[in-house]
Homo-oligomer: A and B are copies of this chain.
Amino acid sequence: MTISGNPQFDLRNLTFRETPSQDDPEKVRAIVEATGFFSEEEVEISVELVRERLLRGIESGYYFLFAEDDKGKLVGYTCYGPVTGTESSFDLYWIVVDNDFQRYGTGKLLDSKTAALVREMGGTRIYAETSSREQYEPTRTFYRKAGYHETAYLEDFYAPEDGKMIFVKKVV
Nearest B residue (CB) for A153: B152
Q: Which residue of B lies closest to A157 (CB)?
A: B89
Best-surrounded residue of A124, A152, A162 (most CB of chain B within 10 A): A152
Binds B, one of A58-66, A80-88, A135-143: A80-88
How many angstroms between the C-alpha atoms of A89 and B154 in the bound complex?
A: 11
Contacts of A41 in B (CB 8 A): 85
Tell me, yes or no, whether A4 is within 8 Å of chain B by CB.
Answer: no
**Which of B45, B87, B155 is close to A158, meaning CB atoms less than 8 Å apart?**
B87
For residue A21, CB closer than 8 A to chain B, the reply is no
With a cutoff of 8 Å between Cβ atoms, the chain B residues found around residue A84 in the complex are: 45
